[in-house]
Amino acid sequence: MTTEHGAFWDDLAEDLQDPEFLRHYVVESMRIATIDRIVNALDEARDAADLSKAALARAISAEPAVVRRLFSAGHVNPTLGTLAEVAAALGMRITLEPLPAAERKSVTDPLLEGRAADPRGLAKHLSELRRSKSRSSAAA
């Protein structure tokens, strides 16, 4: 008997057989996880510096609502410029890092090839990336 949860993974794995859907799903999942990770790190740095959101907004010549949304909204899509300005005001900078080898194989290869050897495993991995980033922001 297939559970509702199992049916979801089965359906998603089937959808991931479509190269266009697969690429979109992988890119969006990685985008969400990456933005969440950066925003959470910046918010932790802001807290550690004992800097209010309003003070941070003044430091980057932005409206306070911009900084409030950055750290409070459930779904944000800040520009790299905004993230870099916030980071600079906190004494940080945004850098790139290579994915670990196993993750690179499971994420990058499907993007380049348009197919995944294990679509269900890929879906679960991307879901976990997104969930682990959401948990850190929920804990704050």
Task: State residue 139's pLDDT score.
Answer: 43
**Using CA atoms in the order 74, 80, 85, 86, what is the torsion angle rounded to 10 degrees?**
20
Distant-in-sequence contacts of 80-89, Cβ < 8 A, 24+ apart: 83/38, 83/39, 83/42, 85/60, 86/42, 86/56, 86/60, 87/42, 88/60, 89/56, 89/59, 89/60
85 within 8 A of 55, measured Cβ to Cβ:
no
Provide the CATH number for the domain formed by 17-139 in this structure.
1.10.260
Tens-digit pLDDT profile for residues 69-98: 999 877 788 999 999 999 999 999 999 999
pTM of the predicted protein model: 0.81
Task: State residue 135's pLDDT score.
Answer: 40
Q: How many residues does the chain have?
A: 140
* Residue ranges for the chain with pLDDT beneath 50: 1, 134-140
Task: State residue 58's pLDDT score.
Answer: 96
Structural domain boundaries in the chain: 17-139
C-alpha angle 26/75/129, rounded to 5°? Answer: 40
